[in-house]
Amino acid sequence: MCEGKNQSPINLTGFIEAELEPIAFDYQEGGQEILNNGHTVQVNYASGSSIKVDGTSFELKQLHFHAPSENHIEGKSYPLEAHLVHASDEGDLAVVAVMFEEGGANEGLEQAWSSMPEQAGEEKTLQSSLSADDILPSDRDYYRFNGSLTTPPCTQGVRWLVMKQPVTASKEQIEHFADVLHEPNNRPLQPVNARPVLQ
């Protein structure tokens, strides 16, 4: 089902220096619904949270997780990766990716995992509303490339914005997610082809 030369994920390497505008984050506490769709655990967002990229506003629709990470950075895989999926009014997509390293417990994850749905198809309400700010790194520098969604139909034309700075999650938090899914849920790396990766 997945065709095209700009597929995701990729190994981000061979960076091209560029004047990347800072992403304008405007996140509210809108994440109240958490669900296990059998492929990932996802937090859905009410309207009101957005980013601005290329002069266009993209509304945060949902965030979900992959273990191990789908994208690699200079050959390095991470134990967990979050994807914050946004859409513009025109239907264009932008995904902010955050890498997790094993370390101290992550407060944002703690909030989400406390209501983790254990069974596929199960949906729960979070005890307290989650702001996506809670899982972003303090340093918002990023890599950028054009890619696709990583699940079928793998729609291309997605702006990928990968945070350079990883955040930490505890070993227990990472294992809890992996245990609930029972198997890795990362798509294999795809060929970069002629795409530039900007930094």
Query: Which of 82, 94, 80 minimizes the C-alpha distance to 157?
Result: 94
Q: Decide yes or no: CATH 3.10.200.10 for domain 11-181.
A: yes
Residues 4, 186 contacting (CB under 8 angstroms): no
DSSP H stretches of helix in 90-170: 107-113
Both tokens assigned to 122: 């199960």
Q: Which residue numbers are catalytic?
A: 39
Spell out the domain ranges in the chain: 11-181
Both tokens assigned to 66: 């992959």
The one-digit pLDDT tens for each residue of the chain (199 residues) are: 788 999 999 999 999 999 999 999 999 988 989 999 999 999 999 999 999 999 999 999 999 999 999 999 999 999 999 999 999 999 999 999 999 999 999 999 999 999 999 999 999 999 888 999 999 999 999 999 999 999 999 999 999 999 999 999 999 999 999 999 999 999 999 999 999 999 9
Q: Is the dihedral of CA 175, 179, 183, 185 positive or negative?
A: negative
What is the spatial distance between Cα 50 and Cα 57, in angstroms, rounded to a whole number? 7
Residues 143, 14 contacting (CB under 8 angstroms): no
Q: DSSP labels for 9-62?
A: --EE-S-B---PPPPEEE--EEEEEEEE-SS-EEEEE-TT-EEEETTEEEEEEE
The residue whose two tokens read 């520098």 is: 141
Residues 60, 46 contacting (CB under 8 angstroms): no
pTM over 0.95: yes
Instruction: Report the chain's C-alpha Rg in angstroms.
Output: 16
The total of other beta-carbon atoms located within 10 Å of residue 30's CB is 19
